[in-house]
Amino acid sequence: MEASTASTVTGLASELTVARQVLINTQASLGVRAGCQLWERFFALFPGVGEILTHSYSRTVMQTILRAHKQHKRIRVYVTEARPGCLGMKTHQFLTANGIPCTVVLDSAVAYVMERVDMVLVGSEAVVESGGLVSSVGTYQVALVAKVMQKPFYALAESYKFLRHYPLSQTDLPIPASSDRPSIPLEFPSTIPDTHSIPGFLSRGSSLTPQSRSPQAPATPPHGIDGGGGGGGGGGVDGGRKYERMEMTKEMEAINPMVDVTTPDLIDFIITDLGAPLSPTSVSQYLVAQFSS
C-alpha cells in the first residue's frame, strides 16, 4: 500500500487485486529455499536410498525422490491410495511420469507391504510442540505398523510448518470447520444406527446414489464382489450372492478426519532445513525455546 499510486479507493482496490494475483502466481522463496535444504539433508542421511513407502501426496517428498532419481540413486516407491481423496494416485502419476518405479497399495495393505521397504518417508502439514506430526489421515497407522515391524519412519518438514500447539489426543487439533466438513473433534456415532434411516447410506446390495463419489479409479475391480466364501460356487453364507461395488457418500466422508497426529515415539527423525536431522525430542525442545522467547 505504501508503494501505491492510486488516488481513489477504487484504484487501490484494483491494485490490490493485481498484487494478489502476482503473489498467487509466484512461488514463495522461503518454501523453495527450505525445500532445497531439505533435499540436501536427505541425501546426506541416505546416500543409497532404496525402497520407500510413502503415504498420500506430499510435494516435498515428491521433489526429494525426484532429485534422488536424477542423481541415479536406486529407488522404488510404494504409495498408499489414501482414500477418500485418493491422493496416492497423484503420487503414482507424478513418479511414473518421471520414470520412477511406483506401486499403489491399498490403505489396508500397509502391514502387508511394510516388510518389503527400507524406510517410510512422509511429508507433513505441521510439526507440533510435542515433536509429533500432523499429516494426512492414515499417517499415524502407517507409523504404528512401521514401529512394530522395526522400519525407520522419517518425516520431511520445513521449519515454517512448526506449530505452537500441543495436542493431547487425535481430536485435539485446531482445525476450523468448512462448508462441507465440521470442525475437529469429529464425533462418531456412539450407538449402532439404523442404516436404512440414514439419508445417503448405501445398504448392502443397493446401487450407487448420486451423492456417492469416486474421485479416482477404484483399486479393486468394478465388477461384482463375491459375497460367499470365494470361488463363486455358492458355498458362502449368502449362497454366492454378488454385490455391487459401493463407495462412501459425502455424508459418510464428512464424519471422518482429513488429518491425524503421529505421536513422537513413532518417529525416528524429522528432516528439516534447520541443520542436522532432528529427533522428536529435539524438535520439541527447539519449539518450546522458540515460542518462549
Residue 8: per-residue pLDDT: 73
> Which triple of cell numbers denotes residue 25?
502466481
Mean pLDDT by 10 residues, the chain (293 residues): 66 70 55 54 69 95 89 92 93 97 97 96 91 93 98 90 78 60 49 47 40 43 48 51 79 86 94 80 79 68
State how far Cα 222 lies from the chain centre: 25
| Confidence (pLDDT) at 120 | 96
Within a domain: 81: yes
* pLDDT on residue 20: 63
- Please report, in angstroms and rounded to a whole number, the separation of the first and last CA atoms in the chain: 31
Contact between 279 and 287 (Cβ < 8 Å) = no
Kindly state whether residue 230 falls inside one of the protein's structural domains.
Answer: no
Q: Does 209 reside within a domain? A: no
How many distinct structural domains can be found in the chain? 1
**Are 123 and 60 within 8 A, CB to CB?**
yes
pTM passes above 0.75: no
The verdict on residue 3 lying in a domain is no
pLDDT of 86 reads 92
The upper half-sphere exposure of residue 33, i.e. CA atoms within 13 Å in the direction of its Cβ, equals 7
Instruction: Indicate the angle between helix axes 59-70 and 29-45, nearest 10 degrees.
Output: 50
Give the range of the structural domain holding residue 276, as residue numbers without chain letter. Answer: 29-170+259-292
Where residue 280 sits, what CATH number does that domain have? 3.40.50.10470
How wide is the angle at C-alpha 280 spanned by C-alphas 269 and 130, nearest 5°?
150
Tell me if 202 is assigned to some domain.
no
Q: In what order do the strands lie in the sheet with 269-271?
A: 102-105, 74-80, 49-54, 119-122, 153-156, 269-271
Closest CA to 37 of 253, 291, 275, 231: 275
Contact 95, 61 (CB under 8 A): no
Query: Is 160 part of any domain?
Result: yes
Residue 283 lies in a domain: yes
Whether residue 117 is contained in a domain is answered as yes
Print the SS3 string covering the chain: CCCCCCCCHHHHHHHHHHHHHHHHHCCCHHHHHHHHHHHHHHHHHCCCEEEEEECCCCHHHHHHHHHHHHCCCEEEEEEECCCCCCHHHHHHHHHHHCCCCEEEECHHHHHHHHCCCCEEEECCCEECCCCCEEEECCHHHHHHHHHHCCCCEEEECCHHHECCCCCCCCCCCCCCCECCECCCCCCCCCCCCCHHHCCCCCCCCCCCCCCECCCCCCCCCCCCEECCCCCCCCCCCCCCCEECCCCCEHHHHHCCCCEEEECHHHCCEEECCCCCCECHHHHHHHHHHHHHC
